[in-house]
Amino acid sequence: MRIAHSVRARVFSQDGEDEEAITNALLSLFPFDVRKHLTRTTATGVYDQPIVILELQVTSERETTQAMKHVIELLSTDDRKRLLTQKEKRLDENLRFYFRLAKPGLLSNDIHLTDDGNCVHFTIHIATYPRSKSRALALLSSIIET
C-alpha cells in the first residue's frame, strides 16, 4: 500500500558552513542511496551572502515508504509523541505533512525536531484513497506509533 506520493528534504548551507558535511548528513537520513535525487541550487541571501540549497525528493512507492518510516524511526520517543500531538497542525489541506529536523543536531548525530530555521525541512505528501484528511491522520498515527 502506498503511504506517500513523495518525501522531500531540503536544507540550506550558508556561507562558511561545511557543505560536504551537510550533504552527507542529508544523505544519511535516507536508508538507501539517494545521490541521484540530490539537487544543488545556489541563491543569494539578504546580505548578498551565497546560500546553497540542497534538496532530495523521492517519489517511487518503495522509496517513499522506506524513507518515511526510516526518518520517523530516527526520532526519539518524545519527538514521536510531539508529532502525534501536533499532526493535525502539521498536515495541510493538500495532505502534505511538514516537520523540521535541527541541522546542528543532524551534523552531530543528535537527530531531533526543531521549530528553528537552521534545519532540514521535510515535506511528506501523504497518499490516501479516497483522499481524506481523516484517513491521512489515521495513517500518520499508525506510522508514527510503530
**Tens-digit pLDDT profile for residues 89-130:** 999 999 999 999 999 999 998 999 999 999 999 999 999 999
| Predicted pLDDT at 32 | 95
Long-range contacts of 31-39 (CB under 8 A, 24+ apart): 31/66, 31/67, 31/70, 32/63, 32/66, 32/67, 34/58, 34/63, 34/67
pTM: 0.94
The tens digit of pLDDT for each residue in 54-75 reads 999 999 999 999 999 999 999 9
* Domain extent at residue 36: 4-145
Say if residue 77's pLDDT is above 80. yes
Say if residue 146's pLDDT is above 80. no
The CATH number that applies at residue 60 is: 3.30.1440.10
State how many domains the chain has. Answer: 1
| Predicted pLDDT at 56 | 97
